[in-house]
Structure 1
Amino acid sequence: MTSAIRILLVDDQELVRTGFRVILGSVPGLEVVGEASDGARAIELARELRPDVICMDVQMPVLDGLDATRRIVADPEATGTVLVLTTFDDDDSLFRALDAGASGFLLKTASPEQLVDAVRVLAAGDALLAPEVTRRVIERFGGVTAAPRAAELDALTEREEEVFRLVARGLSNAEIATGLHVGEATVKTHVSSILLKLGVRDRVQAVVRAYETGFAVPGA
């Protein structure tokens, strides 16, 4: 029998945590194992409860979600892939979260189905890049003169470059598979190879790299 996905909720608003707990706790295969109202407590619970996914707010007292994310990712005793839940009204917070090591980004206005899907995606070891995040990355780097083509990009095969361009547009593995008329498992293999060759942790960092280097061009 497959173990339930263990979730830690981190938000300073009890009403928000309650809403997330009701949504996630009602889905078979998902289990909310703990809650924290600040980043410092989140770090403690990430060590004690060893969750699979941490739903992390950004603005919180004591220690904000971005600093907490950075410490959790760097802590060998802590577990949990971080899903940042934000309104995206602050570009600085968004890119700090990218740097901190968050693997997922979702608007707090997302539907319950989107929240559940995001948790499952992160628990499976993938990363979630909401369309809003992709647009912000494009806006951030779109007007910047691209750096010389990175050497690691030359290691990509023609098919990997094709997949990478679609990843940079924010498409999921399933959407890429449909567009290229291949199996989703094949796309996942290509994405894993791309991340390895680029030396990045997940597709979130890969998208940033694509626009930083000029591999992906806004509007293309």
Structure 2
Amino acid sequence: MTLAAPAPIRVLIVDDHQMVRDGIAALLNRQQDMAAVGEAADGLEAVHQFRALSPDVTLMDLQMREMGGVEAIKAIRGLAPGARILVLTTYPGDAQAVRAMRAGAAGYLLKNCIRRELIDAIRSVHTGRHAISPDIAHDLAAHALDEPLTDREVAVLRLVAEGHANKQIGRVLHLSTDTIKAHLKTIFAKLGVDDRTHAVTVATRRGFFER
């Protein structure tokens, strides 16, 4: 008596670039234990497709129109708390990875990963394990004990990145100039920098800003 082959891992691919979706689908469909069962170009479509298809693993991009990946992860996990979601993104940064993992992602890979790494990560996530790119894991470990920026501090720094002076930032956020200066002093300390330009550079690299 021949044993039936186990059912393939059914994967939903979410990315706003058709060529990326096509490339990943072709890669998955070459694996004996995987099948690309659907795709979506944004977060809203991802939630709809997840509801319709109930995939085993969802590959999720982060920066998309209509609804971003983090919001889509939250929505899907609201529908199915056990949903297994693997982020596949262009953008590194420990802060962004933390947001995705807190939303319910089981893994975080960069799109420059090798094909074998992606395939192994899908299998790991499917079995209930976590999968994180080595570079992201290193950044997470390096900043694990850092005090994170608050939402208000990120808002201040985002306006700094847009070129606003302290007075302008205060007007936008309805805060005094002294309060803005105090926020910047705290931001510099948390990021380990000495000036506004370096603060913006570090915050961008670490993923505090949505792109």
Fold match, TM over 0.5?
A: yes
Larger radius of gyration between Structure 1 and Structure 2: 2
Q: Is the 8 A contact 2:59 2:87 kept in 1?
A: yes
Q: Is the 8 A contact 1:52 1:79 kept in 2?
A: no
Which residue of structure 2 aligns with residue 98 of structure 1? 101
Which residue of structure 1 aligns with residue 15 of structure 2? 11
Q: CA RMSD in A?
A: 1.7
Which residue of structure 1 aligns with residue 47 of structure 2? 43
Which residue of structure 2 aligns with residue 71 of structure 1? 75
Which residue of structure 1 aligns with residue 127 of structure 2? 124
Listed one character per residue, the Cα deviations across residues 116-142 of structure 1 (whole Å, up to 9, x for unaligned) are 111111111211122222212122224
Structure 1 length normalisation: TM-score? 0.61
Q: Does 1:113 align with 2:116?
A: yes
Structure 2 unmatched ranges of 5 or more = 148-211
In structure 1, how many angstroms separate the alpha carbons of the residues matched to 2:93 and 2:123? 26
Which residue of structure 2 aligns with residue 190 of structure 1? none
In structure 2, how many angstroms separate the alpha carbons of the residues matched to 1:88 and 1:61? 16
In structure 1, how many angstroms separate the alpha carbons of the residues matched to 2:118 and 2:144? 28
Aligned length: 143
In structure 1, how many angstroms separate the alpha carbons of the residues matched to 2:27 and 2:103? 27
Cα pair distance change 1:143/1:96, threshold 3 Å: closer
Percent identity (aligned): 35
Q: Is the 8 A contact 1:46 1:80 kept in 2?
A: no
Which residue of structure 2 aligns with residue 58 of structure 1? 62
In structure 2, how many angstroms separate the alpha carbons of the residues matched to 1:59 and 1:143? 25
Q: Does 1:87 align with 2:90?
A: yes
Structure 1 unmatched ranges of 5 or more = 145-220
Please tell me the residue identity of whatever aligns with 2:77: V
